[in-house]
Amino acid sequence: MSIPLHQAFRVGAYVVKQHLIGRKRYPLVLMLEPLFRCNLACAGCGKIDYPPEILNQRLSVAECLEAVDECGAPVVVIAGGEPLLHKEIDQVVQGIIARKKFVIVCTNALLLEKKMDLFKPNKFFSWSVHLDGDKADHDKSVCQDGVYDRAVSAIAKAKAAGFRTIINATLFDGADPDRYAAFFDSVMDMGVDGISVSPGYAYERAPDQEHFLSRKRTKELFRGIFSREKKRPGKRRWEFNQSGLFLDFLAGNQTYHCTPWGNPTRTYFGWQRPCYLLGEGYAKTFKELMEDTDWDKYGTGNYEKCANCMVHSGYEATAVMDSVKHPLKAAMVALNGPRTEGPMAPDIPLDRQRPAEYVYSSHVQKALADIRSRKTQPEQESIDA
Ligand code: SF4
């Protein structure tokens, strides 16, 4: 596991404190999306197909920091859209660091070399560069040639400048375990500080619906990849920026229930219900999100849209809480890696899940009506492309 010790200690202390004060649901990672606009149009993305008026909106620095304070999570992940398109993103990052929160900026790296000088290395700050595989796989995933090479160049520059730099990879159906094992070796050779992996979630609005993974295929794929790590004598172990028990869950060895409140999401629309992946309504405040969301309606086994989900934003918090409750189990997985053979843990039955509801257009239409009525829509120049 590549999570720095000081981060693991602070997050662990935070989790213990939440248990001691008897808090049943608490956030671990705030997903902050200051804008939806992106400079790529990936086939598996469910975030960028909003009307231009919405793509032109952004959260101000004050709104971002208010969200950080309201939520109180020890880790903030800034995603989007492409965060480096936000003109004041450096001020957002500085404000979060000043609060002694860990901040990770997810970027496709197309603007990273140009904007890197706006940031300074800091033990609370990491870049997370999107890389979905080797050159062929990544350029195909982001639907544009040359993006892999630019990302690799930016990673080298970030590392040379002293930034903690990880990569995040989303895996889709048809992924080849041999190629992914070679890819993970190659990113370790680049000197990255960690790898964050997740199976792609089947966003209902993503252009490519054919290549999302079922839970069974996800577990088989990750077993296939992790088993290859053990067959590389003399090679450095892959460093993942995730808890060992989350990786063990991906390999089918844990029956975890989703804890979507662990990764609350703040976007232009408000606090997103129930999670980073589903927008089924929005709360005005974090308190309202936590108290007024009917959490039992969501998660695998409860809701049709959650049936195939094994994404970190639903299950990493579950794994971290389990690690704190069962440190010996967590230590064994950290030492030996996820088990890749033998029976899998039972999965959650789906026979009682409620059917999917489709609410996308209602909140988009409401936001559009609000924007038009305010007549203060920022024009394109508010976005520094
Ligand atoms: S299982 Fe959890 S994280 Fe996944 S879509 Fe459902 S609520 Fe969101």
**Most ligand 1 atoms within 8 A of CB, residue of 214, 277, 312 to mutate:** 277
Q: Report if residue 363 sits inside a domain.
A: no
Phi, psi of 107 (to 5 degrees): -145, 150
Rounded to whole angstroms, the Cα distance separating 308 from 295 reads: 18
Q: What pTM value is reported for the model?
A: 0.92
Block mean pLDDT (10 aa), the chain, length 385: 83 91 95 94 79 94 98 96 97 98 97 98 97 93 94 98 96 89 95 93 63 82 92 83 96 97 96 92 96 96 93 93 93 94 94 86 84 67 46
Q: Is the CB of 293 under 6 A from ligand 1?
A: no
Task: Give distance in angstroms: CA of 315 to centre of ligand 1.
Answer: 8
Question: Is 125 contained in some domain?
Answer: yes
Query: Measured from the CA of 298, which atom of ligand 1 is nearest?
Result: 7
The rounded Å distance from CA 313 to ligand 1 centre is: 8
Q: Report which secondary-structure segment, H or E, holds 112.
A: helix 112-115
User: Does 176 fall in a domain?
Assistant: yes
**Ligand 1 contact, 310 CB (< 6 A):** no
Distance 302 CA to ligand 1 centre (A): 10
Q: CA neighbours within 13 Å on the CB side: how many for 277?
A: 25
User: What is the three-class DSSP state of 290?
Assistant: helix
Would you state the structure tokens that stand for residue 50, as one six-digit string? 């909003």
Residue 263 in any domain: the answer is: yes
Q: Is residue 384 part of a domain?
A: no
pLDDT of residue 212: 63
The reply to whether ligand 1 has any atom less than 6 angstroms from the CB of 133 is no
Nearest CA to ligand 1 atom 8: 275
In the numeric block, the tokens 């000197």 are attached to: 191
Amino acid at 149: D
Q: Are 347 and 310 in contact (CB under 8 A)?
A: no
Residue 309 CB–ligand 1 contact under 6 Å: yes
Say yes or no: CB of residue 28 within 6 Å of ligand 1. no
Helix pair 215-229, 177-189: axis angle to 10 deg: 50
Cα–Cα distance, 160 to 127 (Å, whole number)? 13
Ligand 1 atom nearest 263 alpha carbon: 3
- For residue 348, give the 3-state DSSP assignment: coil
232 domain residue, yes or no: yes
30: nearest Cα among 263, 198, 242 = 263
- Which CATH number does the domain housing residue 140 bear? 3.20.20.70
The protein residue whose alpha carbon is closest to atom 1 in ligand 1 is 299
Q: How much distance in Å is there from the Cα of 298 to the middle of ligand 1?
A: 7
Distance CA 105, CA 122 (A): 13
Q: Domain range spanning residue 107?
A: 5-355
3-state class percentages of the chain: helix first, strand second, coil last, to nearest 5: 45, 15, 45
- Report the pLDDT value the prediction gives residue 360, as an integer from 0 to 100: 62
How far does CA 327 lie from the centroid of its chain? Answer: 24
Bridging pattern class, strands 270-274 and 279-283: antiparallel
**Token pair for 181:** 């094992």
Q: CA 319 to CA 311: how far, in whole Å?
A: 12
* 205 belongs to a structural domain: yes
pLDDT at 381: 46
CA dihedral of residues 8, 10, 13, 15 (deg, nearest 10)? -70
In the sheet that 29-32 helps form, which strands lie side by side, from edge to edge? 194-199, 164-171, 125-130, 102-107, 75-78, 29-32, 265-267, 270-274, 279-283
Pocket flag, ligand 1, residue 311 (CB < 6 Å)? yes
Ligand 1 pocket, mutate which of 28, 309, 359 (most atoms under 8 A from CB): 309
Q: How far is residue 113's CA from residue 115's CA, in Å, rounded to a whole number?
A: 6
Dihedral Cα 70, 71, 76, 79, nearest 10 deg: -80
Structure tokens at 356: 């999917």
347 phi/psi in degrees, rounded to 5: -90, 165
Q: How far apart are CA 78 and CA 375, in angstroms?
A: 28
Q: By C-alpha distance, which of 164, 79, 60 is closest to 121? A: 164
* Residue 208, CA distances (Å) to 172, 174, 187, 359 in order: 11, 13, 26, 20
Residue 75: inside a domain = yes
* d(CA 288, ligand 1 centre) in Å: 19
Q: How many domains does the chain have?
A: 1
d(CA 48, CA 68): 23
3-state secondary structure of 266: strand
